[in-house]
């Protein structure tokens, strides 16, 4: 699993996870303090029973299942996109089942500007 974070754009940050598996603890992304909105795209070849979920944490140790802004668990067995709340500090992706899959995810975060505007 690989996590790459692009912080070069002033008001947008992206975190990209690749090669997500069930056998490794995925690297966590730390949400910027000035985050305003975030969306998550889950993609890849889901194989037989491939499932990918998002977990969230405030301390970076104790993770729970993440939910989108509508309260639905962030879990996918096919390509999907979710609106993600920005209220937690740490975010990570995890494959929970399946075989023959190649899973990836990209979190796009829009940040507030210095005056509070996006």
* pLDDT average, residue stretch 87-106: 89
Global confidence as pTM: 0.84
Rounded Cα–Cα distance for residues 40 and 99 (Å): 23
* pLDDT average, residue stretch 30-36: 92
Q: Is residue 12 part of a domain?
A: yes
Is the backbone of residue 98 left (phi > 0), alpha (psi -120 to 50) or beta? left
Domain with 22 in it: 2-111
pLDDT at 59: 96
Q: Is residue 43 part of a domain?
A: yes
Question: Quick check: 4 pLDDT over 80?
Answer: no
CATH code of the domain containing 62: 2.60.120
Nearest to 105, CA basis, from 95, 96, 118, 115: 95
């Amino acid at each position: 699993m690989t996590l790459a974070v692009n912080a070069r754009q002033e008001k947008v940050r992206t975190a990209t996870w690749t090669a997500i598996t069930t056998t490794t603890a995925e690297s966590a992304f730390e949400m910027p303090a000035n985050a305003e909105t975030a969306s998550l795209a889950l993609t890849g070849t889901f194989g037989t029973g491939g499932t990918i979920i998002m977990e969230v944490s405030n301390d970076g140790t104790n993770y729970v299942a993440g939910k989108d802004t509508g309260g639905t668990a962030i879990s996918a067995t096919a390509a999907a996109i979710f609106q993600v709340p920005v209220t937690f500090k740490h975010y990570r992706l995890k494959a929970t089942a399946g075989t023959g899959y190649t899973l990836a995810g990209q979190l796009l975060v829009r940040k507030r500007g210095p005056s509070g505007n996006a």
